[in-house]
Amino acid sequence: MGFTPIKYTLNRNIQSSGLQSQVDGARVIELFALIIQDLFGEDFADKAKALYLKNRTLTISVVSPIIGQELKLKEARIVQAVNEKMQANLVERLRFLA
């Protein structure tokens, strides 16, 4: 009898326990930081931080309304990048808190 890789066991347990949305939210938050760094550079990455994902809306804390406006201009691109990397449509829009 062979062993089942831990990756498959964990994925199955996460899905059956109902924690998948929380795991996906944590992954989206992590990806957001990388995508912002790619699009705007390292200096900008410190000015916006993803807080949580709820109802397909990613809430982001920004240091000023100006930073929020810059992100809003590239919202479609950010949402598309997150969804492509997650291989699922988890984010529909961004919400900004200044």
With respect to residue 32, please indicate whether it lies within any of the assigned structural domains.
yes
Question: Using CB atoms within 10 A of its CB, is residue 52 exposed (0-12), middle (13-18) or buried (19+)?
Answer: middle
The pTM assigned to this predicted structure is 0.80
8 Å CB contact between 24 and 88: yes
How far apart, in whole angstroms, are the C-alpha atoms of residue 18 and residue 90?
16
31-47: pLDDT as tens digits: 999 999 999 888 888 89
With respect to residue 2, please indicate whether it lies within any of the assigned structural domains.
no
With respect to residue 11, please indicate whether it lies within any of the assigned structural domains.
no
Instruction: Give how far the C-alpha of residue 21 lies from the chain's centroid of Cα atoms, to the nearest Å.
Output: 12
With respect to residue 88, please indicate whether it lies within any of the assigned structural domains.
yes
CATH code where residue 90 lies: 3.30.300.180
List, edge to edge, every strand of the sheet that includes 48-54: 48-54, 57-62, 93-97
Q: Say what the pLDDT of residue 18 is.
A: 58
| pLDDT > 90 in the chain, percent | 64
What are the CA-CA distances from residue 40 to residues 37, 45, 54, 74, 83 (Å)?
5, 7, 25, 10, 18
Res 16 pLDDT > 80: no
What is the count of structural domains for the chain?
A: 1
